[in-house]
Amino acid sequence: MDSVDVPMTLTTNQQSSPKFPLKICYHEIYTNGIHPDARFPRARYVKLLQQLTTHSQTGMFDFVEPKQASKSDLLIAHDSKYVNDFLTQNLTEKEIRRIGLTPWTQDIIPRTLFLMGGAITALRHVTEYGGIAGNMAGGTHHAHYDFGSGYCIFNDLAVCALLAVEKYDFERVAILDFDVHQGDGTATILQNIENTLTISVHCQGNFPFRKSISDHDISIPNGAEDDEYLAAIEQAILLASEFDPDIILYQAGVDGLATDSLGKLNITRNGMQERNQMVFDYVTEHSIPTVVFMGGGYSEPISHTIDAFTDLFVAAAITNEKMLSKLS
């Protein structure tokens, strides 16, 4: 297993005795539900789990196995025919090709429901306790109301945003989508929902090539480096602060890394760490419950993706400890 450079903010004392471990939803089907021949780096989940386990032994993380999302959970953000066709294996070959992850395994349906359930479980946790919780998968922002796309079958961000408003009585839900690809499906599903704010920072010349319209789209050119990227992140956080959200859904894809095969940006690992810290400093200052969604990551070698996601969850754990310690 590749060695991990732990961010400078992590101290020995914080490793040894966290009072509030970060809840992370994980199920082995996140990996096993994807065919080994699929054009998707399914091994990233197992490798990330192995890497995070070195920290969980100190009590930093609490891994939780989610339950499957219900059909009614999906219908809050998706068309009933599309949901039914997926659950009964009646999608057309064209619809399946648009989603990807092919060839599909017999576990694609339970995998999808567990993945969605992981996001909902993390949402439920922060509604009850505050702080931060995460799902070690997801960020499926390319799924639209009545079709899937770009490795995304159902949209966990949109589902959680609408559950936050309709079930948990949040008044202002901000989606910070910092994946290299625009959150097009999230934008279209939530476009007429006044209680939500969609902000997407993404590479202009990358998928989807026909962009949707978010509440705020901040596009950066191909080849952008840390300074330009972090300036866009700062702008996005300022826009979020003007909305004054009472919960944040953070899509934290690391496919903007320079080594990412699908990214087209030149962001360093340090740049990704700074991005995460900017988000976590903001939510800490304002005590905003936050759900972390992994998003994309396709670096070659894959260890670069794993390291960046490890940084993400370690920083989230440190932030969660600070936030909940203030409340206790």
Q: In the 3-class helix/strand/coil scheme, how is 87-106 assigned residue by residue?
A: HCCCCCHHHHHHHCCCCECC
pLDDT digits (tens, 9 = 90+) for 248-260: 999 999 999 999 9
pLDDT digits (tens, 9 = 90+) for 287-316: 999 999 999 999 999 999 999 999 999 999
**Cβ pair 294, 276 in contact under 8 A:** no
Specify the DSSP class assigned to residue 68.
P
Count of CB atoms situated within 10 Å of the CB of 239: 16
**Cβ pair 263, 304 in contact under 8 A:** no
The chain-wide mean pLDDT, for the chain, equals 93
Torsional sign, CA 225, 228, 229, 230: positive
* CA 325 – CA 284 distance, rounded (Å): 11
- pTM of the full structure: 0.93
Round to the nearest angstrom and report the end-to-end CA distance of the chain: 37
**Cβ pair 322, 131 in contact under 8 A:** no
Which of the two residues, 208 and 7, has the higher pLDDT score? Answer: 208
pLDDT digits (tens, 9 = 90+) for 140-191: 999 999 999 999 999 999 999 999 999 999 999 999 999 999 999 999 999 9
Domains of the chain: 19-327 (3.40.800.20)
**Cβ pair 254, 297 in contact under 8 A:** yes
Q: Where are the beta strands (DSSP E) in the chain?
A: 22-25, 61-64, 132-135, 173-177, 196-203, 216-220, 247-251, 290-293
pLDDT of residue 56: 66
Q: What is the mean pLDDT of residues 79-101?
A: 98
Place of tokens 């936030």: 323
pLDDT of residue 16: 54
pLDDT of residue 4: 34
Interhelix angle 302-327/269-286, nearest 10 degrees: 20
Q: Which residues of 122-156 are buried (b: 16+ CB within 10 A; e: fewer)?
A: bbbbbbebbbbbbbbbbbbbbbbeebbbbbbbbbb
**Cβ pair 197, 215 in contact under 8 A:** yes
